[in-house]
């Protein structure tokens, strides 16, 4: 990645909206220039349900990030999540016209485009088509088929699907906030880029991102994404349970959860009590910490069991699909006391809390390296990759113009081939374009 490239990640969450500006330093690490954070008022379970409030929250977060960094924000890479996201496995194949020629990028694109023609439910659109393993003429377990000979190219795909209206609503909020949509990324994928390393993805790992409104899951094995899911519960349902169970207001319930909450009831003694001021001159309320952790424990176990069901559906109990690296927890909800121990107890899998500090410069403010910002860091990384890709394409174009009259040997890659490789447009870029076109036409 080039030094001094600047990018912006925008995480539109259920409880908070984060705008993060960063650039690459000379050590190829990300230097955070500014972070803006605002309360998210128009988002419910990852889906925009109040356009006006969401626009105001985005503008507030962006303004804050701009003031701190001194940079003007124009285009942003935004994350998409929410309960409407679902994923499926699909196999497809193409028969090549000329098996005497080696398989190239165009063949892969033809195969991916064929998957995009899958008929979805009304109102749904494919967000990601992620190839897993390829087969060439029946030969299985091929990771990179380019350069091989063969007549029939087959592949297993991980297909991520979402609601068109939800994607367009996010696009509308970005545009109305005076910003350009630079790219759309699935939030569990962004979080996994920020907190997982290559060895974990190779060994097999489940990333659990516990947000306010949803819990996102991404499973990797052999370095390939195998399964994604969005569970429509998060930290907010725990707060809601505390509010109901202790008969207090939401603000107090959230404070109780953050300061005194624990996912393990055995930790608190019966006589540990916290006093909460009463409303408008009423008597203070006394709440037993043991009862508080019982409420939290019950709901947390429910969330973990839902996630574990998804992990089992993927096939974790099958020896070949075993997730050796276990579970990595991230997101704001992962900071709940004793959650790591509870997850290990319920699932029997090794667990750690994932911090997005591996890719960040050493002098980064400690508050930014919190699991709370994992998605924003991942989106920022994604934006930097895209900027870097564009600049590489431009360089190739320049070289291509210079060498128009040169003859290219058959064994070497021509600049055009390199350009095709770099310009390999992921469907998300096409989706971003579609959203932009839709918004322009709707004006």
Around Cβ 427, how many Cβ atoms within 10 Å?
20
**Looking up tokens 């880029």, which residue turns up?**
193
Strand order in the sheet with 16-24: 30-39, 16-24, 6-12, 75-80, 180-186
- pLDDT of the residue at 57: 94
- pLDDT of the residue at 85: 87
- pLDDT of the residue at 395: 60
- pLDDT of the residue at 280: 81
Q: Which residues, including other chains, have CB under 8 Å from residue 1's CB and lie 6 or more apart?
A: 24, 28, 384, 385, 388
355: left (phi over 0), alpha (psi -120 to 50) or beta: beta
- pLDDT of the residue at 204: 95
- pLDDT of the residue at 207: 96
Tell me the two tokens of residue 82. 């929410």
- pLDDT of the residue at 2: 54
Q: How far apart are CA 181 and CA 86, in angstroms?
A: 23
Q: Which residues, listed in sequence order, are joined to residue 17 by a DSSP beta bridge?
A: 12, 38
Q: Which residues, including other chains, have CB under 8 Å from residue 154's CB and lie 6 or more apart?
A: 91, 92, 93, 134, 135, 136
DSSP assignment string, 4-70:
T-EEEEEEE-SSEEEEEEEEE-TTS-EEEEEEEEEE--SEETTEE--HHHHHHHHHHHHHHHHHHH-
- pLDDT of the residue at 53: 94
Instruction: Write down the CATH superfamily of domain 235-299.
Output: ATPase, nucleotide binding domain (3.30.420.40)
- pLDDT of the residue at 408: 41
Supply the pTM of this predicted model: 0.84
Q: Are 221 and 24 in contact (CB under 8 A)?
A: no
Q: How far apart are CA 173 and CA 179, in angstroms?
A: 9
- pLDDT of the residue at 19: 94
pLDDT along the chain (443 residues), means of 10: 75 92 88 93 87 94 93 88 86 90 90 90 88 90 90 92 90 92 88 93 95 92 89 92 92 92 82 84 87 93 94 88 94 93 94 91 85 94 80 60 46 44 53 73 67
Q: How far apart are CA 51 and CA 175, in angstroms?
A: 11
- pLDDT of the residue at 443: 60
Angle between helices 187-195 and 374-402 (to 10 degrees): 90
The distance of Cα 60 from the centroid of its chain, to the nearest Å, equals 22
DSSP assignment string, 284-341:
PEEEEHHHHHHHHHHHHHHHHHHHHHHHHHHTTTSGGG--TT-EEEESGGGGSBTHHH
Sequence spans of domains, the chain: 235-299
Tell me the two tokens of residue 140. 């299985």
* Burial class, 74, CB count within 10 angstroms (exposed 0-12 / middle 13-18 / buried 19+): exposed
Tell me the two tokens of residue 279. 């409303």
Q: How far apart are CA 199 and CA 221, in angstroms?
A: 10
Q: What letter would DSSP give residue 102?
A: B
- pLDDT of the residue at 132: 87
- pLDDT of the residue at 398: 61
Q: What 3-state class would DSSP assign to 123?
A: coil
Q: How far apart are CA 149 and CA 15, in angstroms?
A: 52
- pLDDT of the residue at 25: 85
């Amino acid at each position: 990645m080039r030094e001094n490239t600047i990018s912006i990640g925008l995480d539109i969450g259920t409880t908070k909206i984060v705008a993060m500006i960063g650039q690459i330093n000379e050590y190829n690490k990300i230097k955070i220039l500014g972070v803006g954070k605002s309360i998210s008022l128009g988002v419910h379970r990852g889906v925009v349900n109040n356009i006006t409030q969401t626009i105001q929250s985005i503008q507030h977060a962006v303004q804050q990030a701009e003031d701190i960094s001194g940079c003007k924000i124009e285009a942003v890479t935004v994350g998409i999540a929410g309960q409407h996201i679902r994923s499926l496995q699909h196999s497809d194949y193409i028969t090549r016209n000329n098996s005497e020629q080696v398989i190239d990028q165009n063949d892969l694109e033809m195969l991916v485009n064929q998957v995009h023609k899958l008929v979805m439910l009304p109102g749904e659109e494919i967000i990601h088509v992620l190839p897993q393993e390829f087969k060439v003429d029946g030969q299985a377990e091929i990771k990179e088929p380019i350069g091989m000979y063969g007549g029939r190219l087959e592949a297993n795909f991980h297909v991520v699907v979402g609601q068109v209206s939800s994607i367009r609503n996010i696009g509308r909020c970005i545009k109305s906030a005076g910003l350009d949509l630079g790219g759309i990324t699935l939030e569990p994928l962004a979080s996994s880029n920020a907190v997982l390393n290559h060895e974990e993805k190779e060994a097999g790992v489940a990333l659990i991102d516990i947000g306010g409104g949803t819990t996102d899951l991404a499973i990797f094995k052999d370095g390939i994404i195998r399964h994604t899911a969005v569970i429509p519960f998060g930290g907010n349902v725990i707060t809601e349970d505390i509010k109901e169970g202790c008969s207090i207001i939401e603000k107090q319930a959230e404070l109780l959860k953050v300061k005194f909450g624990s996912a393990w009831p055995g930790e608190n003694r019966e006589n540990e009590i916290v006093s909460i001021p009463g409303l408008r001159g009423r008597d203070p309320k006394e709440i037993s910490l043991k009862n508080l952790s019982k409420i939290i424990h019950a709901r947390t176990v429910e969330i973990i069991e839902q996630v574990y069901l998804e992990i089992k559906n993927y096939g974790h109990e099958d020896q070949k699909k075993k997730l050796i690296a276990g579970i990595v927890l991230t997101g704001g909800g992962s900071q709940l006391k004793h959650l790591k121990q509870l997850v290990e107890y319920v699932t029997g899998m090794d667990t750690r809390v994932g911090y997005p500090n591996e890719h960040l410069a050493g002098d980064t403010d400690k508050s930014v390296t919190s699991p709370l910002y994992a998605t924003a860091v991942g989106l920022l990384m994604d934006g930097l990759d895209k900027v870097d890709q564009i600049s590489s394409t431009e360089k190739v174009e320049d070289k291509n113009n210079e060498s128009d009259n040169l003859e290219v040997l058959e064994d070497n890659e021509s600049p055009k081939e390199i350009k095709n490789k770099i310009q390999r447009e992921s469907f998300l870029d096409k989706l971003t374009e579609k959203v932009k076109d839709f918004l322009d036409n709707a004006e």
